[in-house]
Amino acid sequence: MERKTPFKKEISGIENEKEFVRAFHKKKVKHLPILLYDLVETLYDDIHADDIVCAYHIKEKMKPDFYIEIRGIKKYISVKMGFKTSVHTENVYEFIRFLRSIGVSYSATEAYLHYHFADGTTNGKGDVRLSGEEYKTLYQHEIDEINRAFSRISNIDKILDRFMFVGTQFSCKVDALILGIVEDHWWITTKEIKEQVLRQMNRKTTCPRIGPFSIQPLNRCLNKNPKYEKARYHVQLKWYQISDDILRAMVIRDLETPRDEKKLLEESLPKC
């Protein structure tokens, strides 16, 4: 029998977002699936079982994909699906300007550009292009220097706002991230994401990384295909261990949250 990939099905990302909207929209809190019920309970300080949840898909390109609203209070949700999740892309020089604005040294950002283009230049105009693995074999010591500089970044809030919560367009800010599909998903709050990033700022790795986010070209375009050349000038951040990190956050959340037997019993009963 074919093994299904957790947190994913044959559905587009946008349609998946709309399925979550339908799972929330015009439902009483007590009628929500258990994990979505827990998410709402975590995001809202004061809700009642009979409160009505409204949900709306966000058509514009923003970090949040939809928002829920209870008694006039909105909470913004980002949805990801599958593993090795891409969380951010932007022009590589905009990325470099941002890093310098938060104190990353000129030498470290220049070293990143050398890794990014892997052709002996910082502008992508070199003749010979190396693959990521070839570059690591020859210049791992330079990548280590990049990561040492990245590990000293102190303004984690600005990093997360740009890469995960707000983006470059100063849109609405994400309150939580859902990984998966309506039938099979986990979730994590922005506070928990920050905690996971801080835990991993000194993580040893063979590629440029900030916390759990691997940094790489959108496409190295080794065969110099003009169709993909533009993508070479964009940086991509990927969260490869996203499911592991969300699971770790869930375990910590469960250990730190006092749960009484009466509440556990109520949660185990069918919502009706």
- CB atoms near residue 138 (< 10 Å): 11
Give the CA distances from residue 78 to residues 62, 122, 127, 229, in Å, rounded to whole numbers and listed in that order: 9, 33, 40, 29
Instruction: Return d(Cα 77, Cα 63) in angstroms, integer.
Output: 8
Query: In terms of Cα–Cα distance, which of 169, 214, 164, 216 is closest to 194?
Result: 164
What's the angle, vertex CA 89, arms to CA 83 and CA 91, rounded to 5? 155
Contact 1, 234 (CB under 8 A): no
**Kind of pairing between the strands at 176-181 and 73-80:** parallel
- Per-residue pLDDT at 169: 77
One digit per residue, the tens of pLDDT, for the chain of length 272 reads 344 555 667 889 999 999 999 999 999 999 999 999 999 999 998 899 999 999 999 998 899 999 999 999 999 999 998 777 899 999 999 999 999 999 999 999 999 999 999 999 999 999 999 999 999 999 999 999 999 999 999 889 999 999 999 998 767 999 999 999 999 999 999 999 999 999 999 988 999 999 999 999 999 999 999 999 999 999 999 999 999 999 999 999 988 765 454 554 454 444 54
Where residue 64 falls (left for φ over 0; alpha for ψ -120 to 50; beta otherwise) is beta
